[in-house]
Structure 1
Amino acid sequence: MRIVYFLVQAALIGCLLSCDSKQNIAKAEPVAAVTTETPSTEKAVVYQVFTRLYGNTNDTNKPWGTAEENGVGKFSDFTDTALADIKSLGTTHVWYTGVPHHVLVRDYTAYGISNDDPDVVKGRAGSPYAVKDYYSVNPDLADNPAQRLEEFDALIARTHAHGMKVIIDIVPNHVARNYQSLGRPEGISDFGAHDDTSVTYARDNNFYYVVGEDFEVPTAVDYQPLGGEAHPLADGKFDESPAKWTGNGARAPQPDINDWYETVKVNYGVKPDGSYDFARLPAHLRGAHWRQHAAFWVDKDVPDSWRKFYDITQFWLARGVDGFRYDMAEMVPVEFWSYLNSAIKQTNPNAFILAEVYNPDEYRNYIQLGLMDYLYDKVELYDTLKAIIQGEAKPAAIIPIQARMQDIEHHMLHFLENHDEQRIASPEFAGDPFKALPAMVVSVTLSSSPTMIYFGQEVGEPGAQDAGFGKPSRTSIFDYVGVPNHQRWMNDGAFDGGQSTDDEKALRNYYKKLLNLSVSEPAFTGHYAEIHQWNLDQSTRYNEQLFSFVRWRAGQKILVVVNFSAQNSSVSLELPPAIANQWGPVISATDTLEHRPVSIEGQQLSLELAPYGSSIIHIKTER
C-alpha cells in the first residue's frame, strides 16, 4: 500500500516517529555479529497473485463494473493444473494477495455480513488493505460464501500438495473504518470494542480519537464513489463519532481525499507526541536469535493492539499459512515486530516473514531488531534498475547498491513488479517487457535473496485497463477486472498458453528458464563479486551499457553478463586478477541461459549479446 505513502511520510515521522523513538536502540550500522559468513543454501521464488483476479476469465472490463459484469476469480480457480503451472516457474512460495476479508461494495447480508459504505471504500471491489475481519476471508473468493474459510483451507492444502508454501497479507498499521469481525474466536474482542473514546490516546486503546468531533467523508471535485452510480449508502456520510485518526496518521476529522481515508490508524502504545509507552529493546538484542527476543518479552506488559495481532497471526498459522507479508511495516514500532515475529517463529521456525519497508536507514533495524526475514529492495535496487531501463542511469549504478547491502543482501527481496508498481510493459515503465529482461536477470541472480514476480509479469501484461478507481499502468487492486495477457495464457483453465501470442509464450519460457536456474544452481546462494568496472576500464569490447559479475560456491563458478542496450554487442571480458588467481585458468565456458557460443582465449571470454540479451555462463577452471 505504497500509494501516497511518500506524500505523508514526513508528517507521519513528525507525529509518531520522533527522535524519542530512536533512543535506547543501538545505531543501525552493519556489524560483524550479524553478517552471514556462510551464504544461505536456499533461494526462494515468490509468486504473487492477486487472488480475485487470477482465475477471472471475463474480458468485459467495464469501468466500475460489478462482479457480475466483469467477473471475479475464486479460490477454486487454483486447480491442480493452475498450481502445477505456477510451480513450473520455480516457485517456492505463493503470496495470495487480498485474502483477509476487506471492505467491498457487494451485498452479502444473506451471510450475516454488513454492507460496506461506498463513501469509505476505494473502488467497488475494495482495497485489500482495508481489512474488515481478520478472522475470515473475502467472500468474493468463495464459491459458497458460507464456506469461505473452508474453501481457503482447501487451497492451502492444494498449494502444499504442489510443494509450495502459502503467504498472506497482514496489515498491522491500520484496519477498515468499519472493522467488524464475525469470525473472531471466543474470548477475542474487536478492535476498538473496549476503547476509552473520551481521550485522544490511551495505551490500551486500539485507535486514536479526535475527541468531540465527528468523522467527515473527504471530498474531491473529480471523484465520486462508484463513478457516480447511485447507491443507498453513497450519500457523503459515514457515522463515526468521535472521529478516529486515519490510517496514514492524518489527525483531522475530515481526511484529505489522498489520505488512506478508508482506514484507521492502529495504536501500538506510541503517544501523540511520538514517545513510547512500552519496554524498549536493549542494544544486545540487535542480531540476536529470535529465542532471545521471545525471552525478553515473556514478562513484559504490552499494549492491547500487540496482543490482538499475536492472536490474528496465530490463528492463520494454525490453519496452515506458512508466512506473512506485512503492509507498511515501518509505520509500526520495531519493538512490536520483535514481539510478534519471535512469537511467530516459536510456532513455526520456518515461517516466511516479508515486510514492506522503504527507508534504507531503517533496513537493519527491521531485520536485526524487528526479526524480519526479508524486506522489499525497492528504493535501492528496483528504483535503480527502473532508471537504467528508462535510460536515466547507467548499469554501474548497481555497484554501490550491492556494496551497501552486502551484510544484509540475503534479506533484501528483489522484484520488478508487484501490485503497487507500474507494469513493466506499460508505456509509463518500459513499454516492452523484453526491454526489462537484462534487469530481470540481474534482479534474480545478483544476490542470494528471494525473487518475487507478479502474476501476468511473465507474459508481459501491460495493465492497460481503466477499471474505475484503478487507472492504467497498474493492474487495479480496487476493481473487478480481467487481466488480458494472463487470461490468454490461462486459456480457460488449461494454463497452456493456448490463446497467447508467440511473444507472450517466448517471454514466459524465458522467465521459466531463468527462475528455475536461480533456485537450482548453488552459486546463486554463494559469493559475489562485480567485474563490470574492471572490464570497463580494461577492454575496448566492453561498454557502459553492459553489466557483469561472478557468483561461485562449492566448486561451481558462474559469470553473468547482461546487455541493457537496444544494440547488438560484441563482448570481450576478463576475470579480474583477484578472481583469476583464486579460480585458476579457465578450461571451458557454457552459456546455460541462451546456449550461445562463448570463446575462450586465456582468461578472456568473447560472446555476442543481442539487444537486451543476457548470458549466464558456467565456467570450468583448473581449480
Structure 2
Amino acid sequence: MPDWVQDAVWWHVYPLGFVGAEKEATEEVTSRLHRITDWLDYAVELGANGLALGPVFASSTHGYDTVDHGRIDPRLGDDADFDELVDEAHDRGLRVLLDGVFNHVGREHPAFRAVVERGSDAPSAAWFRLRWPADWQPGVVPGYDTFEGHDQLVALDHSAPVVADWVAEVMTHWLDRGADGWRLDAAYAVPPSFWATVLPRVREAHPEAYVVGEVIHGDYARIVTESGMDAVTQYELWKAVWSSLNDGNLHELAHALGRHDGFLDTFVPLTFLGNHDVTRIASRLTDLRHLPHALAVLFTVGGTPSVYAGDEQAFTGVKEDRAGGDDAVRPPFPETPAGLAPFGEPTFRLHQELIGLRRRHRWLHTARTTVLHRDNRQLSYEVTGDGERLVVALNLADTPATLPAVGAGEVLAGAGTVQRDAVRLDAHGWAVLAG
C-alpha cells in the first residue's frame, strides 16, 4: 500500500447526482465539474485529504453503464473540466480516486454495438461471453452474460487477454492524467486472477497508485492476496455498526471488531458508514442519539475511512429496490456550501473533531482492537498500535452506566467521568479516552 494512504480520509462524491445532471446521456457538453471544485475547500475544512469520485466517464444513465472509458461524461464536462478539478484538488492536498467499472459495460458501448452489427466477426466479440442463435443476422442481439441480471449491463469476459490489455490501458491513462488511484466497481464479480494480471502492469507506471475493490461479500483477505489490490470495502463492519446500535446488541459489534482485526493482518480495509449504494446512516439508525457512537467506531478502528458526501451533515435518504431507487441517496447539492441548511452543523463539527483526533493518532490506520467489556447496551474497547493506546466506551441505555476502562486517562472526545479503571457515561453517552 502506498505510504500516503496511512493519512487518507476520503470525502466520497457521486458526481452525476451532486451536480444535478440529467438522468440520461446527452451529447451536449455542459461543464458542471466546477460545482465539485467549489466544494473542495469545504472538504479540506471537514478534515478530508482525499476526493473519492463516483463515475465520471461517458455513460447511458447512472454512470455504471459506461459507454466510453476514455471520455468524461458530457453531462459533467470535458477533459479540461476534469483537469481543472484534479489540479484544484491537488493544490489543496486532496488526492483523487476514480471509480472504474471494469466488470461490465453499458449495452450502448461501441464494443457491444459492433457485436450486434457484425456478429462473431467483430473484433470486440472476444470481449464478451456470448451465445449466438443459429439464424443470427446483423442487428440481432446474441445472448450475453449480464451483471446480476441487469440487461443494460453487459459482462466482460475476463479470461480474454484483450480485456486485460484494455483495462490496464484505461487505468494507466487516467493515472497519467493525474488521478491517484482507483476504486474497482463490482470487484467481487471479477476473478482475482484478472486483477493479478492487470495491476502489476498499471503499477509499473504508477507504483504509488492506490487500488481498492468494491467487495460486498466473500473472503476479503483471499481476494486482496490473490488480486494484488491494496484493499477492499469493509461491508461487514458497516453492517455490524448500524445493526448493533439499532438492535441494542453490541455483542454483534464486538464480534465484528474481532473479524476486522483479522483482516488487518493481511490488509487495511476501506471503512465507511455510507456510500452511494446504501441508505444513509442518519436514516438507517432508529435512534439518532447513536450517530456519534457510529462515528466514534469509524474513526477509532484500523482502516482508511471514507465519508459519503452529505453524511457529515446528517443528510437523510433511503435506498429503495425500484427504478430510481437510488435517487434519495444521490441528491443534487447546493451550488456552494453556503447553501446548506444549518441543521447539519453539529454533525459536521463532530466529524471534524473525530477526524482531528485521528490525525493526531496516525497509528490508528493499522490499530488493533481489544474488547474490554461487552453487554447488550454497553461496550468498551481499547485500540493499540505503535506503543500507543486509546479507549472507547459506548452506552446505548436510557440510564447512565459505568464501563470498565482499564488505564483510561482524559476524555479526548465525547463526554464521561473517568473513575478508577472505569468511565461513567450518561444515558446514550460515549467517549474516546487517552490510554
Instruction: Compute the TM-score of the two structures, normalised by the length of structure 1.
Output: 0.62
Q: What's the counterpart of residue 211 of structure 1?
A: 132
State the Cα distance separating 1:43 from its structure 2 match. Answer: 4.0
Q: What's the counterpart of residue 172 of structure 2?
A: 314
Distance (Å, rounded) in 2 between the aligned partners of 1:197 and 1:472: 35
Residue 276 of structure 2 corresponds to residue 415 of structure 1: no
1:517 to 323, 332, 357: 357
On the 8 A contact 1:523/1:554 being kept in 2, the answer is yes
Q: How does 1:232-243 map to 2 (within 5 A)?
A: 240-243=139-142
On the 8 A contact 1:194/1:205 being kept in 2, the answer is no
Q: What's the counterpart of residue 65 of structure 2?
A: 130
Q: What's the counterpart of residue 255 of structure 2?
A: 400
Q: What's the counterpart of residue 297 of structure 2?
A: 442
Distance (Å, rounded) in 2 between the aligned partners of 1:165 and 1:475: 24
Residue identity matched to 1:400:
H
Residue 418 of structure 2 corresponds to residue 599 of structure 1: yes
- Could you say what secondary structure the match of 2:394 adopts? strand
Distance (Å, rounded) in 2 between the aligned partners of 1:158 and 1:40: 19
State the Cα distance separating 1:396 from its structure 2 match. Answer: 1.6
Residue identity matched to 2:132:
V
Q: What's the counterpart of residue 389 of structure 2?
A: 557
State the Cα distance separating 1:166 from its structure 2 match. Answer: 0.7
Residue identity matched to 1:518:
R
Residue identity matched to 1:482:
P
CA deviation string 1:188-237 (max 9, x = no partner): xx5675898449x999700122312799xxxxxxxxxxxxxxxxxxxxxx
- Could you say what secondary structure the match of 1:531 adopts? strand
On the 8 A contact 2:369/2:384 being kept in 1, the answer is no
Q: What's the counterpart of residue 530 of structure 1?
A: 370
- Could you say what secondary structure the match of 1:264 adopts? strand
Pair 465,406 (structure 1): closer, same or farther in 2 beyond 3 Å: closer
How large is the RMSD of aligned CA atoms in angstroms?
A: 3.4
1:164 to 69, 89, 94: 94
State the Cα distance separating 1:156 from its structure 2 match. Answer: 0.6
Residue 187 of structure 2 corresponds to residue 371 of structure 1: no
Which segments of 5 or more consecutive residues in structure 2 lack a partner in the other structure? none
Residue identity matched to 2:313:
V
Q: How does 1:376-395 map to 2 (within 5 A)?
A: 376-378=233-235, 380-391=236-247, 394-395=249-250
CA deviation string 1:434-491 (max 9, x = no partner): 43321221122122x111111111111112699x932378424xxxx535xxx4xxxx
1:94 to 51, 56, 60: 51
On the 8 A contact 1:212/1:242 being kept in 2, the answer is no
- Could you say what secondary structure the match of 1:592 adopts? strand
Q: What's the counterpart of residue 20 of structure 1?
A: none
State the Cα distance separating 1:83 from its structure 2 match. Answer: 0.6
Distance (Å, rounded) in 2 between the aligned partners of 1:176 and 1:599: 57
Q: What's the counterpart of residue 614 of structure 1?
A: 430
Q: Hey, which of these two has a bigger chunk of strand by percent?
A: 2
Distance (Å, rounded) in 1 between the aligned partners of 2:416 and 2:288: 25
Residue identity matched to 2:54:
T
Q: How does 1:21-36 map to 2 (within 5 A)?
A: none
- Bigger relative CO (Cα 8 Å, ≥ 6 apart): 1
- Could you say what secondary structure the match of 1:150 adopts? helix
Q: How does 1:57-136 map to 2 (within 5 A)?
A: 74-79=32-37, 82-103=39-60, 126-136=61-71
Residue 106 of structure 2 corresponds to residue 176 of structure 1: yes
State the Cα distance separating 1:102 from its structure 2 match. Answer: 0.7
Number of residue-to-residue matches in the alignment: 427
State the Cα distance separating 1:268 from its structure 2 match. Answer: 1.7
Pair 572,333 (structure 1): closer, same or farther in 2 beyond 3 Å: closer
Distance (Å, rounded) in 2 between the aligned partners of 1:617 and 1:421: 31
Between the aligned residues of both structures, percent identity stands at 20
On the 8 A contact 1:40/1:526 being kept in 2, the answer is no
Distance (Å, rounded) in 2 between the aligned partners of 1:397 and 1:73: 46
2:347 to 507, 511, 518: 507
Residue 392 of structure 2 corresponds to residue 471 of structure 1: no
Q: How does 1:257-296 map to 2 (within 5 A)?
A: 259-269=149-159
Pair 458,574 (structure 1): closer, same or farther in 2 beyond 3 Å: closer
2:377 to 545, 548, 551: 545
Q: Which has the larger radius of gyration?
A: 1
Q: What's the counterpart of residue 311 of structure 2?
A: 457
Q: How does 1:145-164 map to 2 (within 5 A)?
A: 148-164=78-94
Distance (Å, rounded) in 1 between the aligned partners of 2:113 and 2:326: 37
Instruction: Compute the TM-score of the two structures, normalised by the length of structure 2.
Output: 0.87
Distance (Å, rounded) in 1 between the aligned partners of 2:74 and 2:123: 34
2:191 to 303, 310, 333: 333
Which segments of 5 or more consecutive residues in structure 1 lack a partner in the other structure? 1-35, 59-63, 104-125, 143-147, 181-189, 216-238, 250-258, 270-301, 537-542, 576-585
